[in-house]
């Protein structure tokens, strides 16, 4: 190494700067698919962050995709209205922020509620918009950042499979994966060559408790946001009461830092590794406590019943699950020739109890339990979905776990830098 290059590297190292941490060379084309307004208000926190950093992106879509809960296009528009009130102050400091008019023009309604067992159902304003933007002539890919369910993305891929070569996907999975098991299964089964980051647990590092006290989840608001502007007041006005979660924000951070085309490098939004199979276990019997499945993997239960001509796109039974979060239920479907099926995806290590509820006599009385292990993607199964060379997910190295969350430290590592940078922008509204 030449002396002057060695000196530069040493100075960067001593100053705490890594060569992998630098702004993206071009503004990425970004479309957000969000379940904002649903059961978890952390999407509201993340969309505030998005608006305040919108100068860093070429925003091409804001799609409401609530596979579960009450999310809606109207909630996106409500947040834009708040941003519009703060816009005059913000624009004084950063003239390239997206205008409220632009944001409204790209806001679309997607599917409401989970899709059928086959993984798609019918086109929506949101899925059609994904197709339109993906087909736009550009040398750059359209980055689809999914903060909720995959239903609109799956629909878009089904209706226009040719768009897969034009898009790159970053999905905040985990709990969102539970609610879009069918659309997820459709994508990995039919689009193995899609470019896809599946972050099931790394993003938890962004709301980790293992951080400096002044930027902790409970202290950041009072220390740095301080009810600044209309956006700041709304940040507090939900059940988190100002506590920072922002579980979807790592997808944005990934696009803001370094080279998004290389998921294996370090970035503000985490670091990921390739995986070549998406785990899926199919059971044609009731499970027992002796059965173990990997966290975030597809558990597919199948049952025999009467042959019928009922609509295969309409649920005909429920899988009722009792877990740490409480009681929740998932739709089951008739898949033909006297076979019935339901998919479930666990989000954390625990023992799961379930029972099947239905008006169909042959399905009544089925119940069982199973254990969820904390290693993703876990052991190989003959029924796994095989993936191509462009699927990435949370790193498995034990030293990168943040407590129980696999890969969490790859995001936690940069949390302080991110929040302190954002604190400077909150000053614009104070």
Residues forming a β-bridge with 334: 340
Question: What is the pLDDT, as a whole number, of residue 32?
Answer: 98
Predicted TM-score of the model (pTM): 0.94
Name the CA dihedral angle for 386, 392, 393, 394, rounded to a multiple of 10 degrees.
140
Q: What is the mean pLDDT of the chain?
A: 93
d(CA 255, CA 170): 10
DSSP string, 25-66: SSPPEEEEEE-TTSS-THHHHHHHHHHHTGGGSEEEEEEE--
C-beta of residue 284 within 8 angstroms of C-beta of residue 342? no
pLDDT above 60 (res 14):
no
Of 33, 37, 68, the closest CA to residue 50 belongs to 33
Cβ(252)–Cβ(55) below 8 Å: no
DSSP structure string for 215-258 = GSTTTHIIIIITT-HHHHHHHHSSTTTT----TTHHHHHHHHBS
Quick one: CA torsion of 175, 180, 182, 183, rounded to 10 degrees? -130
Residue 330 half-sphere exposure, CB side, CA atoms within 13 Å? 24
Q: Residue 328: helix, strand or coil by DSSP?
A: strand
For the stretch 185-241, pLDDT in tens is 999 999 999 999 999 999 999 999 999 999 999 999 999 999 999 999 999 998 899
What pLDDT is attached to residue 26?
A: 81
Instruction: Please state the length of the chain.
Output: 430
- Percent of the chain topping pLDDT 70: 94
- Confidence grade of residue 67 (pLDDT, cut at 50, 70, 90): low
Residue 8 predicted with pLDDT over 60: no
């Amino acid at each position: 190494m030449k002396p002057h290059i060695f000196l530069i590297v040493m100075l960067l190292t001593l100053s705490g700067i890594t060569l992998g941490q630098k702004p993206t060379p071009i503004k990425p084309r970004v479309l957000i698919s969000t379940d904002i307004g649903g059961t978890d208000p952390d999407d509201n926190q993340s969309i505030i962050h998005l608006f305040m950093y919108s100068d860093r992106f070429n925003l091409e879509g804001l799609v409401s995709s609530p596979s579960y809960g009450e999310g809606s296009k109207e909630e996106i528009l409500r947040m834009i209205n708040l941003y519009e009130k703060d816009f005059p102050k913000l624009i004084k400091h950063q003239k390239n922020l997206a205008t409220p008019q632009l944001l409204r023009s790209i806001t679309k309604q997607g599917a409401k509620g989970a899709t059928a067992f086959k993984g798609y159902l019918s086109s929506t304003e949101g899925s059609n918009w994904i197709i339109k933007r993906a087909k736009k002539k550009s040398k750059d890919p359209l980055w689809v950042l999914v903060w909720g369910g995959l239903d609109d993305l799956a629909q878009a891929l089904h209706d226009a499979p040719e768009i897969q070569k034009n898009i790159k996907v970053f999905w905040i999975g985990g709990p969102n994966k539970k609610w879009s098991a069918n659309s997820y299964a459709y994508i990995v089964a039919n689009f193995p060559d899609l470019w896809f980051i599946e972050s099931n647990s790394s993003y938890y590092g962004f709301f980790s408790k293992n951080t400096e006290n002044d930027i902790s989840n409970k202290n950041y608001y009072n220390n740095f946001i301080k009810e600044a502007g209309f956006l700041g007041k709304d940040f507090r006005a939900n059940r988190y009461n100002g506590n920072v979660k922002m579980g979807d924000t790592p997808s944005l951070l990934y696009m803001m830092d370094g080279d998004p085309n290389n998921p294996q490098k370090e970035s503000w939004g985490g670091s990921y590794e390739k995986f070549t199979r998406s785990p899926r276990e199919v059971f044609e019997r009731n499970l027992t406590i002796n059965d173990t499945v990997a966290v975030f993997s597809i558990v597919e239960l199948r049952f025999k019943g009467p042959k019928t001509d009922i609509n295969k796109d309409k649920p005909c039974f429920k899988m009722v699950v009792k877990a740490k979060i409480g009681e929740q239920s998932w739709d089951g479907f008739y898949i033909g020739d006297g076979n019935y099926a339901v998919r479930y995806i666990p989000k954390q290590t625990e023992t799961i109890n379930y029972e099947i509820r239905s008006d169909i006599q042959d399905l009544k009385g089925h119940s069982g339990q199973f254990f969820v292990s904390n290693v993703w993607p876990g052991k190989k199964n003959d029924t796994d979905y095989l993936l191509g060379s462009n699927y990435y997910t949370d790193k498995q190295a034990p030293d990168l776990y943040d407590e129980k969350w696999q890969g969490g430290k790859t995001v936690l590592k940069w949390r302080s830098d991110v929040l302190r940078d954002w604190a400077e922008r909150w000053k614009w509204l104070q």
